[in-house]
Amino acid sequence: SQTIHQWPATLVQPVGSPLSLECTVEGTSNPNLYWYRQAAGRGLQLLFYSVGIGQISSEVPQNLSASRPQDRQFILSSKKLLLSDSGFYLCAWTMSTDTQYFGPGTRLTVL
């Protein structure tokens, strides 16, 4: 069966510090991968998606970037965090134009 992992689970970072969040999927090959952000009291905003190694599409201009160095690894990064980057970050995967499966999420607080 397939599983999706995210780490860290929680993170507190000062403004201006770098960021690296990692997402990995097990039990499948060549999945489509997604990064979402959920700000307090709001819905999910799609940030990035990837259909293969090195292929990244950005949905919104922002302070963040994504990379996919391996087939089942998706990384969300920032060089300098802003207060507005705080939120709950979710990674998801799919193998078809059907269901997306979500990871447990990372709670990021920028102070």
Partner 1 sequence: AQSVTQLGSHVSVSEGALVLLRCNYSSSVPPYLFWYVQYPNQGLQLLLKYTSAATLVKGINGFEAEFKKSETSFHLTKPSAHMSDAAEYFCAVSERNTDKLIFGTGTRLQVFP
Which residue lies nearer to partner 1 by CB, 8 or 16? 8
Binding status of residue 52 toward partner 1 by CB under 8 A: no
Query: Candidates 14-22, 62-70, 78-86, 97-105 — which segment interacts with partner 1 by CB under 8 A?
Result: 97-105
Residue 39 Cβ vs partner 1, minimum distance, rounded to whole Å? 11
Binding status of residue 32 toward partner 1 by CB under 8 A: yes
Residue 90 has which token pair?
Answer: 């979710």
- Residue 88 makes CB contacts below 8 A (sequence gap 6+) with 37, 38, 39, 105, 106, 107, 108
Binding status of residue 99 toward partner 1 by CB under 8 A: yes
Binding status of residue 42 toward partner 1 by CB under 8 A: yes
Q: Are 42 and 29 a contacting pair, CB within 8 Å? A: no
Binding status of residue 74 toward partner 1 by CB under 8 A: no
Residue 78 has which token pair?
Answer: 């920032």
Q: What is the identity of the amino acid at 21?
A: L
